[in-house]
Structure 1
Amino acid sequence: MARPGLDPELRALLADLPLMSGLDAGVLAQLRRLPSTPLDAVLHGRAAGHREITTPVPLSIFTPARTDHAPTPCVYWVHGGGMVMGDRFSQIDIPLDWLDLFGATVVSVEYRLAPESTGMTPVEDCYRGLLWVAEHAGELGIDPSRIIVAGASAGGGLAAGLTLMARDRGAPSIAAQVLICPMLDHRNLTTSSRQFSGEPGVWTREMNEFGWRSVIGRGEVSGYMSPAIADDLSGLPTAYIDAGTAEVFRDEDVAYATRIWAAGGQAELHIWAGGCHGFDALYPGARISVAARRTRNDWLARVLGPAPGDVR
């Protein structure tokens, strides 16, 4: 099946990555044994505090160095990994850039993974953590009117799901949602899903099917789990959605933005030509990644405003 090609720089970089075409329980076990993101290296050179809190779910809290006591915006981060792998430090450099740029407090949640935990468990874990953050905003030094939920891949899908859940349950208030190549639709029926199948890749149709089978288990699928099937997308906070042309999630992400617009909401959508799944997390120094991050940061600057003293 014809499909968009990769950005040339990404193609060269991916040539050194051991890509797979599918996932199974044995491969997943091997991937889970790989070391987590080295936090010391990510925090090196950043003026950031770090502490761990066990609430209803484990949370990592990263705070900006401040000379005043004004409440900070908050980025509530949900990690990727197909809902079957990763941890709260996965892709953490993305929200930590927002700590640097906007003086935001970053809270990253550790949700339970499939297949050990199925159904609504991952999104409920994310919601419980977010509700705790909002309820303790004062002691955390957070402005409760400027809480943004954000996530990449599976984390983007979970961020969308918990935003729907917060709307329907009436709390907490969410100012915006940042959905980076989000995993939104369990059905795998789109053209882009079919295009990126049968060959090794960063995240293929077959890998996606494994992830969804793992989390659905034998239960029913809710719109909180698979936001693409949610009946109503009205009344949601403004959204930023991005993806690449050369990835499985392209079309479901475009469709989600389109449905937000149809419901009268705001969504800014960017589809990066030649981008593979998670390209800016994998290769932040690539030219396409630099452009994607800069564009995302510019949108956040309009939503949050710059950090005090920022002269960009």
Structure 2
Amino acid sequence: MDPELEAFIALFPVSTLDDPIAERETFAKLATSVPRPDTSAMTVEDRTVPGEPDVAIRVYRPHEAQGAVVWLHGGGWVMGNLDTEHPWAARLAEASGAVVISVNYRLAPENPFPAALDDAYTVLEWTAENAADLGVTPDRIAIGGHSAGGGLAAATALRARDEHGPRIRFQLLNQPGLDDRQETWSARTFTDTPWVNRARVTAMWHYYLAGRPAPSYYAAPARATDLSGLPPAYVATAELCPNRDEDIDYAVRLLQAGVSVELHQWPGTFHGSQAILSAEVSRRQITELGDALRRALQIA
């Protein structure tokens, strides 16, 4: 493990996800402990997207923005909101020069699948319809997310393809949760990795799917057998992460389906460790996410 990351492991709270409500409070405390981002070069605005139900979003608009990404936070489909994601959405906007539309999707177990996906898709449609108001063109819209949000981003891309929905220029998938079956080597082996391990992933999927196997590949994108016609993708994985092998496999299958993919495996890292901003490897990860989005959206 990267020595700078290893030094922080003892500081992580014990977490089992037995109590989702309590875990949300712990997650929020961790998020507020991160240094606040510099938003002086952008406008930040809370808005509401009409839907059934309405969806709260936070729009980060750099002054010279030329593209947009619908961004879906992590938290195992159980935790996270606009405030916990603020440090990362703002940094992504700064690093990429893109408008970042952070989505406050509904959480499980109160709102299991497909609630979060429906919210993400509602915001994607709104973004395409309101591109001019956001200062971007409809052909420069990406979808992305971290962890559970990365899985939602992949599912949103599949749904947009199937339903001939808004054109998505690019998928930015950071350590995405893609496969409820947990049959890969990393999913079976990483039982005591920091922050996220097999038991924690099992609990996340249990809440999100209401205790049932995924009913479709919109719930677990790794179950999709046809990945053709999807947007180009950047897939990032952490070495010591249960999701690692399902993410690598998804990237390879995208390639085999004719989809252009950039795959970055970060050695010495664990799931979510990019939040430890004092570590050089974490800062590199955030920079690379921004650079990948900038390249894909052709932002000057």
TM-score by length of structure 2 reads 0.90
* Alignment-derived partner of residue 217 in structure 1: 210
RMSD value over aligned CA atoms? 2.2
Give, in angstroms, the shift of residue 112 of structure 1. 0.6
Q: Which runs of 5+ in 1 are unaligned?
A: 1-5, 308-312
**In structure 2, C-alpha distance between the alignment counterparts of 1:179 and 1:237, rounded to whole Å:** 12
Q: Which runs of 5+ in 2 are unaligned?
A: none
* Alignment-derived partner of residue 224 in structure 2: 230
Answering whether residue 103 of structure 2 is matched by residue 109 of structure 1, we say yes
**In structure 2, C-alpha distance between the alignment counterparts of 1:51 and 1:290, rounded to whole Å:** 25
* Alignment-derived partner of residue 297 in structure 2: 304
Cα 1:102–1:8 change in 2 (3 A) is closer
**In structure 1, C-alpha distance between the alignment counterparts of 2:294 and 2:43, rounded to whole Å:** 22
**In structure 2, C-alpha distance between the alignment counterparts of 1:92 and 1:236, rounded to whole Å:** 28
* Alignment-derived partner of residue 176 in structure 1: 170
1:138-287 mapped onto 2 (5 Å cutoff): 138-197=132-191, 199=192, 201-217=194-210, 220-280=214-274, 282-287=275-280
Aligned to 2:58, the other structure's residue is in SS state: strand
Give, in angstroms, the shift of residue 267 of structure 1. 1.1
Aligned to 1:33, the other structure's residue is in SS state: helix
Cα 1:75–1:93 change in 2 (3 A) is farther
Q: Match for 1:212: what amino acid? A: W
Q: Match for 2:48: what amino acid? A: T
Larger radius of gyration: 1
Answering whether residue 31 of structure 2 is matched by residue 31 of structure 1, we say no
1:1-16 mapped onto 2 (5 Å cutoff): 6-16=1-11
Answering whether residue 96 of structure 2 is matched by residue 93 of structure 1, we say no
8 Å CA contact retained: 2:61, 2:100: yes
Give, in angstroms, the shift of residue 9 of structure 1. 1.6
Q: For 1:125-176, what per-residue CA distance to the aligned partner results, in whole angstroms no more than 9, with x for missing partners? A: 1101111111111222222111111100000000000011111111111110
* Alignment-derived partner of residue 61 in structure 1: 59
8 Å CA contact retained: 1:49, 1:65: yes
- Identity across the alignment (%): 37
* Alignment-derived partner of residue 310 in structure 1: none
The number of residues matched between the two structures is 293
* Alignment-derived partner of residue 72 in structure 1: 66
Q: For 1:55-106, what per-residue CA distance to the aligned partner results, in whole angstroms no more than 9, with x for missing partners? A: 221111122224xxxx730021100000011113334333423422443211
Cα 1:170–1:105 change in 2 (3 A) is same
Give, in angstroms, the shift of residue 123 of structure 1. 0.8
